[in-house]
Amino acid sequence: MAFLLVSAYLLLTHAQGAPVENGALLETLKSQVGLFSNKSEHYSAQVRPPGTSRQIPQTIIIGVRKGGTRALLEMLDIHPNIVVAATEVHFFDWDENYVKGIDWYRNLMPFSYGNQITIEKTPGYFTSPQAPGRIHDMNSSIKLLLILRDPTERVISDYTQVYYNRVEIAPINKSSSLIC
């Protein structure tokens, strides 16, 4: 896809014979082909490829923090018959999203062809008391992929990430408070 975008960009800039101001042409191309930052909110602005529609996921990945759910999703996304939601949707575990309804949820999914499987990943569904019933009410035959990890390895990984984020963020917060 990146090759296609760069080719189209070069073709158009060459055809127009003028330099591109502030990347405006590139941004136009991105929006026309549906390339945006990795945020599910932008799916609604994508151009719909012919023969596709937004499907409610047939599979949901659930699990624990630092359990490997993101890695699994990225590996599955390599397969041409799988499309994945760009971010964790938190539809079934957050009441403020659930009350928006199933059409809102569907609209956050990527466009897919009939032969493709749509997958969503929100590990928080695993620890949510209301998520199982809500998921079952939507689709009683949905496939849930539960990712677990050795508890000791997981807590060390979680601690390391929290510690690293504090070490990285603390100098930024201190320097910004000195500026104020």
Which CA distances in Å does 87 have to 77, 84, 141, 153? 13, 9, 23, 25
Answer yes or no: is 39 a known binding residue.
no
CA dist 39 and 58 (Å) reads: 20
Answer yes or no: is 157 a known binding residue.
yes
Answer yes or no: is 70 a known binding residue.
yes
Q: Which residues are catalytic?
A: 66
Q: What tokens appear for 131 in the block?
A: 């998520």
CA dist 23 and 45 (Å) reads: 19
Query: At CA 145, angle to CA 82 and CA 86, rounded to 5?
Result: 45
Which residues make up each annotated binding site for 3'-phosphoadenylyl sulfate?
A: 66-70, 149, 157
Which residues make up each annotated binding site?
A: 66-70, 149, 157
